[in-house]
Amino acid sequence: MKKLILLILVIIPVIAFSQKKQRDTAKVAMPIKEGSIVYESIVDGLDRSKSELFNTSLKWMANSFADSKEVIQVKDENNGNIVGTGTFDYIAPGFVGGQERMAFMTDITVKDNKARIRIYQLRYKMFGSSGYKRLSSNDSDYSSFDTKYKEYLAEKKWPLNNKKLFVLVDSKISSIIESYTKFIKSNPKSDNF
């Protein structure tokens, strides 16, 4: 009897510790359009003119980015189009965890009663050990995030367990789009000041 109890006490911990931890192998799904990452959201039923939606979109750009005059590259009210660059900084997950900056293009198109926001041309830059420095989004040291994502999908340089970066970037970009969607829906037709 003692041998049976002793055997059970030895086997249970061995079995418990011998189970391998299941690795999350699901890939982060970023929206791909014509081979590149492109986030897009269309907001319908806004009950406002193209001009009102255009001005509201300009307000959102001014509120969302530090220097909207530097950010906005195209402002075409006749066609209802605003194109600009945006950036955000983040700490890259992983062993080293260095600071990086993501730069991207933002394209807003408005028509009567509807608006569309697109975020594309994602580029990233790692900061050196010299610390934070002001960078323009056109800095030639940026690398294509599309390439990094494709390597991750192909399991080349980025192993599956290092998907935290892609979850982080996806979350940040999705929150930018959500911010625009909420702003364009909630902003009243006129101020009546």
Instruction: Pull the structure tokens for residue 149.
Output: 């994502």
What is the model's pLDDT at position 28?
81
Give 12's pLDDT tier (boundaries 50, 70, 90): low
Task: Identify the three-state secondary structure at position 64.
Answer: helix
Per DSSP (E only), the strands in 54-166 are: 72-76, 81-91, 99-111, 114-126, 143-144
Give counts: helices (H), strands (E), the chain.
5, 7
CATH T-level assignment (fold) for domain 28-128+138-185: Alpha-D-Glucose-1,6-Bisphosphate; Chain A, domain 4 (3.30.530)
pLDDT tens per residue across span 105-141: 999 999 999 999 999 999 988 875 444 444 444 456 7
Instruction: Quick: pLDDT tens for 157-189.
Output: 655 556 888 889 999 999 999 999 999 998 666
Burial of residue 17, with CB atoms counted within 10 A of its CB: 0-12 exposed, 13-18 middle, 19 or more buried:
exposed
Q: Average pLDDT for residues 73-78, to the nearest whole number?
A: 92
- Cα separation, 74 vs 82, in Å, equals 5
Residue with tokens 């192998």: 25
Locate the domains of the chain by residue range: 28-128+138-185
Q: Is the pLDDT of residue 79 over 70?
A: yes
- Rounded to the nearest integer, the mean pLDDT of the chain is 80
Q: At what angle do helices 145-153 and 164-186 cross, to 10 degrees?
A: 130
pLDDT of residue 141: 78
